[in-house]
Amino acid sequence: MCEKEAEGQTNIEEEIKQDDVLLNEEQVETTENADKIVEDAKAVIENEEVEKYIIRLQRLQADYDNLRRRSQKEKQQIGQMTKETLICGILPVIDNFERALQAFENEESTKQVLKEGMQMVFRQLMDILTGEGLEAISAVGEPFDINKHEAMMQVEKDEVESNQVVDEFQKGYTLKSKVIRPTKVTVAK
């Protein structure tokens, strides 16, 4: 009987080992299934988050496009208003030019009257432009400055220091401290 008991016990042990192997295989399958389920869940969550970010990015892009269009429209409106302001300021100058031309057509007008009228119109126009920030660049007697002057020629002058402006061909101007046209000058050697 001992032998049968030993055999029975061996069979039981083998069955237990087989059950353990089956349990281990089930655990592996269950773990693999669980891992797969977790990965699938992560993928779904990531896809949802990606979709949220895509939607957010699309909204931001649309907001940026709207802002860019609005800014461009505002720039155009500001440019238009600036032009209107300048033109409205120059209209009285045009009126005075017309009056001067009409006075010139009359035989009674003289050169002196025409000259005075032209000087008045010139002063009026310069007052408007000066009010907008336009300033003439001083040149004659000043040291040559490449940022404000454009040398057209050089001459030798004994009484003047070298590199000094001695003559002006065309006035230069600054608009609110920015050179918009340099003065064309003659410079001493």
189 residues of the chain, pLDDT tens digit each: 455 555 556 666 676 666 666 555 555 566 667 677 777 777 777 778 888 888 888 998 999 999 999 999 999 999 888 888 887 888 888 888 777 777 767 656 677 777 777 888 888 888 888 888 889 998 898 999 999 999 999 988 878 888 899 999 888 999 888 998 999 999 998
CA 178 to CA 189: how far, in whole Å?
28
pLDDT the model gives residue 70: 94
Q: Does 147 lie in the same domain as 123? A: no
Measuring CA to CA, which residue among 78, 90, 168, 181 is closest to residue 134? 181
Angle between helix 111-131 and 2-105 (nearest 10): 160
pLDDT the model gives residue 189: 85
Q: Does 91 lie in the same domain as 32? A: yes
Q: Does 139 lie in the same domain as 110? A: no
Our count of domains for the chain comes to: 2
pLDDT the model gives residue 66: 93
pLDDT the model gives residue 30: 62
Q: Does 122 lie in the same domain as 93? A: yes
Q: Does 23 lie in the same domain as 97? A: yes
Could you tell me the sign of the dihedral formed by the alpha carbons of 142, 143, 145, 146, in that order? positive
Torsion angle, alpha carbons of 114, 120, 121, 126, to 10: 150
Q: Does 42 lie in the same domain as 109? A: yes
pLDDT the model gives residue 32: 66
Q: Does 151 lie in the same domain as 187? A: yes
Q: Does 104 lie in the same domain as 159? A: no
Q: Does 182 lie in the same domain as 104? A: no
Q: Does 185 lie in the same domain as 164? A: yes
Domain that residue 165 falls in: 134-189
Q: Does 87 lie in the same domain as 13? A: yes
Q: Does 122 lie in the same domain as 139? A: no
Tokens of 178: 């920015």
pLDDT the model gives residue 86: 81
CATH number, domain containing residue 155: 2.30.22.10
Is the model's pTM score more than 0.75? no
